[in-house]
Structure 1
Amino acid sequence: MTSFAAIGYGHGQKPIFTEEDWSILDGKIPVPAYHKSKTIAEKSAWDFIKNEGGNLELAVINPTGIFGPVLSADFSSSIQIVKALMSESVPGYPQIYFSIVDVRDLADLHIRAMTDPGANGRRFIGTSDSGPVAFIGIAKILRKSRPGKAQKAPTRQLPNFLVRTVACFDPAVRGMLPELGVIKNISNEKAKTVLGWAPRSIDKCIVDNVDSLVKHNIV
């Protein structure tokens, strides 16, 4: 598994991203170090298979943000978004969009790629059918589905000019600016047509995520 980080960064606005795309590391749009590392690592893996792999086979899964139920208090950074929306009182969130895949669907996709001969030599984007969602969209799902647990979820999205102003003084916010207001439409058709994959909805993914955080006394 690598990541959508190896596909969708460093580009200008595109109609849709597919497995044919690679993140552009030497262009005009800054790419974070994490995304660079994922891109370089995956390209190295494909180069190895081509030049030295012999009879080895390679299929790569490129997931978007991984959400869904957790098994303990030890969870990924993506889940921190849901935890923060439920437990931190903030005036609003920036207009940052991201796509989601349920961890259970991602596990299923890995198994399909490992066991289906048609997967060899291919990349597969793992993402739900629902398309990109903003922070405020996640907050709306929380307030609708689990209102008793979402009293602190923000009710408004911060205007872009305000985020850009804050970025002048906050390096962490400054790093968000290339993605501010950018909506990345992503195709998951290859995973569905080649491997017969069927991902859950974002709503189901987020609600099960919330319920697991409550179950493990994380929020």
Structure 2
Amino acid sequence: MPETVLVTGGTGYVAGWCVVELLRRGHRVRTTVRGHGREQAVRDAVAGEVEPGGRLEFAVADLTADDGWAAAVEGVDRVLHVASPLGGSGGPEALIAPARDGALRVLRAAAAAGVRRVVMTSAANTASPSSYAEEGVTDETLWTDPDDPTLIPYRRSKTLAERAAWDFMAGYDGPTELTTILPGAVFGPILATDTIGSVGIVQRMLTGAMSGVPRIGLEVVDVRDVADIHLRAMTAPEAAGERFLATGEFLWMRDMARVLRAELGEQASRVATRQVPDVAVRLAARFRDPSLRDITPALGRRNRHSTAKARRLLGWQPRPAREAVVDCARSLLAHGAV
């Protein structure tokens, strides 16, 4: 039966597709924005895929403040907590504190309102070996060690936020249930050009901003499949109290570049397929481009994640990684983002 669902962070890449899929399936949707000025951007993005009619409404709330969350969850049946902090200056805590505290704000408000279930977006790297050198396949039973000093702030923030959510539920005695979704590298079509998340990798390839590709492998999952697993986890009785990995096929970035060249022809003429040696990436990160420091631990990483649980309990079936990459590129081109 159609329900009223709150989606946090409606301007975001994954959140936007969650809004679209909920509307397609007949639900009423309320989504949070950080200011009323962002409402029209969400409406415009969604309208390219589905006509919302009067079933889309907005609430103003921010992960960094308590204001607005009680009103945001009022009358809501379920919550998809997809929003993530933007980070910025201030060191690692600038990312960690908003992620952790924001998750707790959403959970507390949802529990107080008697929401039936909260589905929270985490990340596959919260269920990964701390050492990138380890190989093999891991599942949801593994937790990344947040105290590992080599973790980049993003991995630590996602791990601590999800841990805080489960710790909250451990001490909670009420009707609200929690499920967490752990996506891999999210690609696929965009709804708008202002918030594209990880899609920026494909954008940089198409524009020629990457003169070569590092030896980094990604578990590519389509944004439409990420939205789908959120909706499945939202209602499936088996999903209550569970974590679900939502990763796709493993592709080296060089393979992604080759797929783009093969499928898009002249439109991908600026895509570089030359692989940059690991030592060159490390030297550049140390002396020329500090922004590369966060990716150097992932050079050559081969650890993969199992999605057997999501397939078995939710019937989830992601599309091929190559389809996600090509559809992503075509969408960027169609939106004039290249």
Into which bin does the TM-score normalised by the smaller protein fall? over 0.9
Q: Is residue 79 of structure 1 aligned with residue 199 of structure 2?
A: yes
Matches within 5 A, 1:69-218: 69-128=189-248, 130=249, 132-169=250-287, 170-218=289-337
Distance in 1 between residues matched to 2:173 and 2:215, nearest whole Å: 43
2: CA distance, partners of 1:41 / 1:49: 13
**1:13 Cα shift?**
0.3
Q: Give the 3-state SS of the residue equivalent to 1:26 in structure 2.
A: coil
What does residue 188 of structure 2 align with?
68
2:164 to 35, 44, 49: 44
Mapped contact 1:68–1:102 kept (Cα < 8 A): yes
For residues 322 and 293 of structure 2, what CA distance do their matches in structure 1 show? 30
Please name the residue that 2:137 is paired with: 16
Mean Cα deviation higher: 136-145 or 82-91: 82-91
How far off its partner does 1:122 sit? 0.6
Where is the strand percentage greater, Structure 1 or Structure 2? Answer: 2
Does structure 2 retain, via aligned residues, the 8 Å contact 1:98–1:184?
Answer: no
- 1:31 partnered with 2:151: yes
Report what 2:127 is aligned to: 7
SS in 2 for 1:162: helix
- SS for the counterpart of 1:60 is strand
CA RMSD between the two structures: 1.5
* C-alpha distance 90-105 of structure 1, shift in aligned 2 (>3 A): closer
Helix, strand or coil for the counterpart of 1:99? strand
- Normalising by structure 2, we get a TM-score of 0.61
* Counterparts of 1:210 and 1:53, CA distance in 2: 46
SS in 1 for 2:177: coil
- For 1:19, give the aligned amino acid: E
Q: Percent identity?
A: 37
Q: Structure 2: how far apart are the matches of 1:155 and 1:14? A: 25
Give, in whole Å, the separation in 1 of the partners of 2:196 and 2:211: 25
Superposed CA deviations along residues 185-210 of structure 1, whole A, max 9, x for unmatched, are: 11111110110011000111111111
Shift in Å, 1:9: 5.3
Question: Which 5+ residue runs of structure 1 have no aligned equivalent?
Answer: none
Does the CA contact (< 8 Å) of 2:213 and 2:276 recur in 1?
Answer: yes
CA distance in 1, matches of 2:334, 2:328: 10
Q: Please identify, of 53-62 and 144-153, the stretch whose mean Cα deviation from structure 2 is larger.
A: 53-62
Partner deviation per Cα, 1:28-55 (whole Å, 9 max, x = no partner): 5x11112111111111111111112422
- For the Cα contact (< 8 Å) 1:85–1:139, is it kept in 2? yes
The 2-side partners of 1:154 and 1:17 are apart by 32
Could you list the runs of 5+ residues in structure 2 that have no partner in the other structure?
A: 1-120
**Counterpart contact for 1:86–1:152, Cα < 8 Å:** yes
What amino acid does structure 1 have at the position aligned with 2:134?
Q
Q: What is the distance in 1 between the residues matched to 2:161 and 2:305?
A: 21
Based on CA coordinates, which of the two structures has the bigger radius of gyration?
Answer: 2
